[in-house]
Amino acid sequence: MSRLAKQLDLPPLPRGLSPVRRYRNLGFPYRAPSTPRGVAVAPETANRGADYDTAWARKYPARLARAAIVDGPMRLAVFGLAAPDRRGQDRLASLQSAAIFAANHHSHLDTPLLLTSIPEPWRHQILVGAAADYFFGTRLTSALSSLVIGAIPIERSRVSRRSADQAAELAAQGWSLLLFPEGGRSPDGWGQPFRGGAAYLAQKSGRPVVPIHIEGTGRILRKGRSLPQPSTASVTFGKPLVPASAENTVRFAARIEAEVAALADEASSDWYQARVRAHARATPQLTGPTTGAWRRAWSLGDRSRRARQRKRRWPNL
Amino acid sequence: MNRPDPRGRAPRPGFVLDVDKSTPPILFHHGEQFRLEKLPAGRSRVIYPAEPLAGLDDPDEAIRQALLNPINEDPLPALLRPGMKLTIAFDDLSLPLPSMRQPDIRQRIIEQVLDMAAAAAVDDVHLIAALALHRRMTEAELRHALGDRIYDAFAPHETLYNHDAEDPDGMVELGLTRHDEQVTMNRRAAESDLLIYVNLNIVSMDGGWKSTATGLSDYAGVRHHHNVATMRKSKSFMDRHSSELHHSNWRQGEVIKAHGPRVFQIETTINNNTFGYDGPLSVLQKREWEWSARDRATFIGMKNALDVTPSAARRKIFQAWQAPYELTSVQAGEVEAVHNKTLENVFAQHIVPVEGQTDVLTFGLPYICPYNVNSVMNPILVMCLGLGYFFNLYRGKPLVREGGVVIMSHPTPWEFHPVHHPSYIDFFEQVLADTTDPLEIEKRYEKQFAYDEWYIHLYRNSYAYHGVHPFYMWYWGAHALQWLGRVIVVGGDPRSVHRLGFQPASTMQDALEMASDVVGPRPSITHFHNPPILMADVS
């Protein structure tokens, strides 16, 4: 028994217990107290979740550190895992201001992939909308998310305008935002319906929305997996979209989703055929066919451009 | 609407500077190098180009408006229908110079054209690089001009390709002009329901009927205006109304209009922003007395670094430069009406009024001309750039008086790109060793080179200019050769310069002394400060 335990008059522990087990067996005051029944719990004021203050991560020392991380190890890791094929960056040539980048979402790799793909001058002046309940669950994850990817908390589990208003304010201040309007990673490789966040922010801040389609990251690190499997991915940027004067949030969100679907079509076929289908309103939906699970999984196999374009081993003579 | 000028002031027009004792040394381009030359005070003048005009604020919207509101033509969507045969031809890699930063104007336009074609569910679409007898564009060059989206959508299906003027099944004859000139055209283009031509005008020679009548033609069609007599009668070929070259193309255009496909012409103009408003080369488009300490330091550093850089590396560095050109106008519709509008916009950027001719005209030749993009500037191209392009950049009368002297600055190395310019090598070694007289050359050698099977094979299957192309380069300078009393090349390889029939000089001082043998003592001197491009309106 240790001297400290003696001083505190702690009960003796059975012989042979490890220090970890000993700590676990310790009660209050070494562990958090339990709440008596019938007592109302005061609202938690902890600095995490949607309440986490990320202002420090937008100051120059943190931005410098983030730039070093993004352009150094993050770029190397993305190249090693995904060897990304980046297309359509020229569509941003006439974009003069900050923007809201809205992409489909397959994997945790999507954020590093996009942070290393979005060109200058937006790359180092961008914040990532991250799920408050996931990335800001603890102080450690909150700090890391803010520092490494420039995350700002976005509520997705309950209806709240607070996080959206904060994001709109930042966009109005000249920060670009990277959002995943599906609200979470794809559970089965197909897309999910777009929520209205990106459209709402665009209307509130007056910033254009750049639709982005990501393909292939689901093969590398899909939802539910913890270890990445190197493969290839592609990122296709679309033309910036500006909400029309009579367009409400729901319609604008639908237009963003349609543009991302057209980009997906472009990535899996070619640009001209995708445009023909877009004009004929025959673009395949991001959310995939409304069939049984196995048929959805089956039709997913056709969507990879690389799967269809086998490498030619011999020249055509 | 034009975007606000990045310099915070209106661009200044070109002007003529009279050189006095306080005038600093003047910049001369010298291939992949530069020279600073002090011109004699009191009898020299320098013609400076206009500063870059402001680019269009929203080029994509301007293009859309041009396609929806064409001149003397129906809106493009009204001309597109399912089941039609649509061909889009576009200018090749000889434009612009140097290549422009992406997105290239051709990409911007063709994407919008194709988007309209997609809306009309047009399936049968071909894209053709209208290169006439130039070398084929490589995949990388096509991707640069058109963008990956277009390339990946069409090239794998073999519906995006280079024009082949020697394909026995790929050409058709549309008829004869009233001067009995043959008019030939790429078969696919000729048999299309609609031919859309996408042009990029960098000088006033480009565009109009020359785009289709020359760009999609073959030797049989081109030889009627690419010849010594035509070039000598074109005074100059940069001035469409005084150019026999253009008169001939316009006559061929009449035949195309009568017997060819319906042509929807899209023409564009760009500004003079060749070297950028900032960055390492921006000093090259500033006037010498306005060079800041930073500009001077940049220039000295650049010049000293280039002095110790091997020539191949120097070439790579310069060829990698992509100009930040901006679109200043876009017009679409009926060929001639569109071209008239284009000329107005080109001249708005290029024209500089100049009073009177000069005894001695000097210019520094840069590292690039239309025929050595990603390639070597060989001695024949030096002649073509100097006596063809620069000499002819006038309206009214030549800048230099008849019997005057041209002094060009270029290293003129005896060097050729063996893949791009095989027939140039033989032209230089065999033909010029025999004679430099354009008429004699045309009479004795042209057909032999034009019908040479090996050159035709290389043109069709490799990346070679057509066998007859070096002849055209020589003819391009025929007007100047006839007009001038002497041509001197400062800093040029004496062997190459002698082979061209010119005189080499080590320094500008030597060259001016040699010139006085022809034009007399104390001649008047005019320096043509180009690039960025200017065109002298000589009164």
pLDDT in tens, B223-236: 999 999 999 999 99
B3, B80, B106, B152: best mutation site toward chain A, by most A Cβ within 10 Å?
B152
pLDDT band at B172, cuts 50/70/90? very high
What ranges in B272-319 are assigned the alpha helix state H? 293-307, 311-319
User: Exposed, middle or buried by CB within 10 Å (0-12, 13-18, 19+), for A308?
Assistant: exposed
Whole-angstrom distance, CA of residue A226 vs CA of residue B195? 55
Whole-angstrom distance, CA of residue A269 vs CA of residue A281? 16
Whole-angstrom distance, CA of residue B267 vs CA of residue B249? 17
Alpha-carbon dihedral sign for residues B210, B420, B442, B494: positive
A74 inside domain: yes
Parent domain of A151: 49-289
Task: Indicate the residue of B102, B118, B152 with minimum beta-carbon distance to A275.
Answer: B118
pLDDT per residue as tens digits for the range A129-183: 988 888 888 888 999 999 999 999 888 766 567 777 888 889 888 999 999 999 8
Q: Which residue has better confidence, B180 or A48? A: B180
| Per-residue confidence (pLDDT) for residue A308, from 0 to 100 | 45
Task: Indicate the residue of A271, A279, A280 with minimum beta-carbon distance to B153.
Answer: A271
Whole-angstrom distance, CA of residue B230 vs CA of residue B247? 10
Q: What domain count does chain A have?
A: 1
CB contact under 8 A, A93 and B102: yes
- Whether residue B114 has pLDDT greater than 80: yes
Nearest-Cα distance to chain B for A274, in Å, is: 9
Report chain A residues whose CB lies below 8 A from the CB of B102.
Answer: 90, 93
Report chain A residues whose CB lies below 8 A from the CB of B125.
Answer: 272
| Per-residue confidence (pLDDT) for residue A157, from 0 to 100 | 65
> What mean pLDDT is predicted for residues A4-27?
68
Identify the contact set of chain A against chain B, taking CB-CB distances under 8 A.
87-88, 90, 93-94, 266, 270-273, 275-276, 278-280
A270, A272, A312: best mutation site toward chain B, by most B Cβ within 10 Å?
A272
Whole-angstrom distance, CA of residue B455 vs CA of residue B464? 8
Provide the CATH number for the domain around residue A156. 3.40.1130.10
| Per-residue confidence (pLDDT) for residue A5, from 0 to 100 | 64
Residue of A nearest to B82 (CA): A276
Report chain B residues whose CB lies below 8 A from the CB of A90.
Answer: 102-103, 107, 147
Q: Which residue has better confidence, A215 or A7? A: A215
CB contact under 8 A, B118 and A279: yes
Instruction: Measure Cα distances from B423 to B19, B381, B501 in Å.
Output: 43, 13, 19
Task: Indicate the residue of A270, A273, A279 with minimum beta-carbon distance to B119.
Answer: A279
Nearest-Cα distance to chain B for A59, in Å, is: 29
Nearest-Cα distance to chain B for A311, in Å, is: 14
- Whether residue B7 has pLDDT greater than 80: no
Could you tell me how many CB contacts below 8 A there are between chain A and chain B? Answer: 43
CB contact under 8 A, B58 and A94: yes
CB contact under 8 A, A272 and B119: no
A32 inside domain: no
Q: Which residues contact B163 (CB under 8 A, 6 or more apart)?
A: B89, B128, B129, B130, B131, B132, B186, B215, B216
Domains with residue ranges and CATH for chain B: 15-48+276-320+355-538 (3.90.226.30), 61-221+262-270 (3.40.50.11440)
A27 inside domain: no
Strands (E), B410-534: 486-490, 503-505, 525-528
Lowest mean pLDDT among A258-272, A285-299, B258-272: A285-299
CB contact under 8 A, B102 and A266: no
User: Under the phi-then-psi rule, with left for phi > 0, alpha for psi from -120 to 50, and beta for the rest, what region is B208?
Assistant: left
pLDDT band at B279, cuts 50/70/90? confident
Which of B 99-158 lie inside 8 A of A, CB atoms?
102-103, 107, 114-115, 118-119, 121, 123, 125, 147-150, 152-154, 156
Whole-angstrom distance, CA of residue B347 vs CA of residue B336? 16
Rounded to 5°, the CA angle A185-A191-A193 comes to 100
Q: Any CB–CB contact under 8 A between B61 and chain A?
A: no
Number of neighbouring beta carbons within 10 Å of residue B178: 8
| Per-residue confidence (pLDDT) for residue B317, from 0 to 100 | 95
| Per-residue confidence (pLDDT) for residue B1, from 0 to 100 | 60
Report chain A residues whose CB lies below 8 A from the CB of B60.
Answer: 94
Nearest-Cα distance to chain A for B136, in Å, is: 20
A297 inside domain: no
Task: Output the pTM of the full model.
Answer: 0.84
CB contact under 8 A, B121 and A276: yes
pLDDT per residue as tens digits for the range A218-236: 889 988 888 999 999 999 9
Residue of A nearest to B111 (CA): A272
Residue of A nearest to B118 (CA): A276
CB contact under 8 A, A272 and B125: yes
CB contact under 8 A, A270 and B121: no
Whole-angstrom distance, CA of residue A273 vs CA of residue A288? 19
pLDDT per residue as tens digits for the range B473-501: 999 999 999 999 999 999 999 999 999 99
| Per-residue confidence (pLDDT) for residue B472, from 0 to 100 | 97
CB contact under 8 A, B149 and A94: no
Could you tell me which residues are beta bridge partners of residue A152?
A129
Task: Indicate the residue of B58, B102, B153 with minimum beta-carbon distance to A270.
Answer: B153
Q: Under a CB-based contact definition with an 8 Å cutoff, are residues B278 and B263 in contact?
A: no
Mean pLDDT across chain B? 95
Task: Indicate the residue of A87, A93, A276 with minimum beta-carbon distance to B118.
Answer: A276
A304 inside domain: no
Count how many residues are written for chain A: 317
> What mean pLDDT is predicted for residues B372-400?
96
Report chain B residues whose CB lies below 8 A from the CB of A93.
Answer: 102-103
Q: Report ipTM for this prediction.
A: 0.76
Residue of A nearest to B110 (CA): A272
A276, A306, A308: best mutation site toward chain B, by most B Cβ within 10 Å?
A276
Mean pLDDT across chain A? 84
Nearest-Cα distance to chain A for B120, in Å, is: 8
| Per-residue confidence (pLDDT) for residue A96, from 0 to 100 | 86
CB contact under 8 A, A279 and B121: yes
Residue of B nearest to A270 (CA): B153
Residue of B nearest to A92 (CA): B103
- Whether residue A305 has pLDDT greater than 60: no
Report chain A residues whose CB lies below 8 A from the CB of B152.
Answer: 270-271
| Per-residue confidence (pLDDT) for residue A307, from 0 to 100 | 46
- Whether residue A2 has pLDDT greater than 70: no
| Per-residue confidence (pLDDT) for residue A189, from 0 to 100 | 83
- Whether residue A317 has pLDDT greater than 60: no
Q: Any CB–CB contact under 8 A between B58 and chain A?
A: yes
CB contact under 8 A, A90 and B125: no
- Whether residue B138 has pLDDT greater than 70: yes
Whole-angstrom distance, CA of residue B65 vs CA of residue A205? 28
Residue of B nearest to A90 (CA): B103
Number of neighbouring beta carbons within 10 Å of residue B173: 15
Task: Indicate the residue of A87, A90, A272 with minimum beta-carbon distance to B114.
Answer: A272
Q: Any CB–CB contact under 8 A between B522 and chain A?
A: no
What percentage of chain B has pLDDT greater than the value 90?
Answer: 95
Residue of B nearest to A94 (CA): B58
Q: Three-state SS across A156-195?
A: CCCCCCHHHHHHHHHHHCCCEEEECCCCCCCCCCCCCCCC
Nearest-Cα distance to chain A for B174, in Å, is: 31
A270, A306, A310: best mutation site toward chain B, by most B Cβ within 10 Å?
A270
A245 inside domain: yes
Task: Indicate the residue of A271, A276, A278 with minimum beta-carbon distance to B150.
Answer: A271
Closest to B407 (Cα-Cα) out of B490, B480, B479:
B490
| Per-residue confidence (pLDDT) for residue A269, from 0 to 100 | 87
> What mean pLDDT is predicted for residues B202-206?
94
